[in-house]
């Protein structure tokens, strides 16, 4: 049975995620309105790729159907949910697999990796509890392919005490992801403090996840109720690159001859 409008009125090859969601039938899918255009922007470059996607927290399974229709060339779609009722979810699309269990438990983690060892996209729509969000990021960000995308949904819960959050809570997952902004810019403060020391609030001094200290976190984007973290293609903390100056006329300030200036020199020179 089709879970989207008939192809005479909508082509699954061109329909946006927003259109697919709004026109959906079949298994129920629950998404906030602002997520839909955000996902269209994020996932458009991957639409025709053989992607693999993991979604933590699938509820009725409807969003897995949406991802299957949007990523027509996708290879694997894995959903994980702690609710035992999810064992009753069945999909006609053989690319879909469901793991029932705690995504951060060893059994579920092993089951997910057995189905698909690496992913292009990981979406955390699980418990929304701060400690679970942080643990899911630590466990599953390393499974992303270089250039992959990790999305945390419903982060408005991180302002709520009942989810281990709070605006002034220095131990919440939101506080951690805000610190990742500084880690992305580590090249400009690396002589002042180590990443291990900077993140000591969240990890024992010698146990900071290697993917963080190695420079695999490339970008982070904060939206209302959503955080998007992109994995680097090549791990590095020298993310700014060389300063590239072009042109031959500099009436206001003489920059000619400074092509290839290092990031450190550029920071010292520019004013």
68 and 168 fall within a common domain: yes
Cα gap 201→39, rounded to integer Å: 32
Does 35 reside within a domain? yes
Reply yes or no on whether the pLDDT at 66 is more than 90.
yes
- Among all residues, which ones are annotated catalytic? 128
Instruction: Give the count of beta carbons closer than 10 Å to the beta carbon of residue 193.
Output: 11
Tokens representing 172 are 């919440």
Cα gap 117→107, rounded to integer Å: 14
pLDDT digits (tens, 9 = 90+) for 10-32: 455 689 999 999 898 888 888 98
pLDDT digits (tens, 9 = 90+) for 89-138: 999 999 999 999 999 999 999 999 999 999 999 999 999 999 999 999 99
**CATH number of the domain enclosing 203:** 3.40.50.150
160 and 73 fall within a common domain: yes
232 and 246 fall within a common domain: no
Domain span holding position 37: 17-240
29 and 153 fall within a common domain: yes
Residue 255 — very low, low, confident or very high, per pLDDT cuts 50/70/90? confident
Q: Tell how far CA 192 is from the center of its chain.
A: 29
49 and 131 fall within a common domain: yes
The count of domains in the chain is 2
213 and 96 fall within a common domain: yes
123 and 51 fall within a common domain: yes
Question: pTM score, two decimals?
Answer: 0.88
């Amino acid at each position: 049975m089709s879970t989207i409008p008939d192809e005479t009125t909508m082509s699954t090859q061109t329909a946006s995620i927003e259109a697919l969601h709004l026109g959906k039938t079949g298994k129920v899918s629950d998404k906030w309105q602002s997520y839909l255009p955000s996902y269209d922007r994020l996932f458009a470059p991957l639409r025709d790729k053989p992607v693999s996607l993991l979604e933590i927290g699938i509820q009725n399974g409807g969003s897995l159907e949406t991802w299957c229709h949007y990523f027509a060339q996708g290879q694997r779609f894995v959903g994980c949910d702690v609710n035992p009722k999810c064992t009753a979810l069945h999909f006609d699309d053989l690319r879909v697999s469901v793991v029932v269990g705690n995504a951060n438990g060893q059994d579920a983690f092993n089951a997910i990796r057995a189905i698909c060892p690496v992913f292009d996209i990981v979406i955390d729509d699980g418990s929304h509890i701060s400690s679970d969000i942080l643990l899911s990021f630590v466990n599953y960000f390393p499974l992303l392919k270089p250039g992959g995308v990790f999305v945390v949904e419903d982060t408005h819960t991180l302002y709520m005490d009942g989810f281990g959050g709070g605006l002034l809570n220095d131990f919440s997952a939101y506080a951690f992801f805000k610190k990742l902004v500084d880690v992305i810019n580590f090249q400009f403060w690396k002589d002042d403090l180590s990443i291990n020391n900077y993140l000591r609030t969240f990890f024992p001094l010698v146990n900071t996840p290697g993917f963080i200290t190695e420079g695999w976190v490339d970008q982070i984007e904060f939206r209302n109720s959503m955080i998007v973290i992109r994995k680097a293609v090549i791990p590095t903390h020298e993310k700014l690159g060389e300063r590239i100056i072009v042109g031959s006329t500099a009436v206001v300030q003489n920059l000619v001859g400074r092509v290839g200036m290092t990031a450190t020199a550029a920071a010292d020179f520019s004013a």
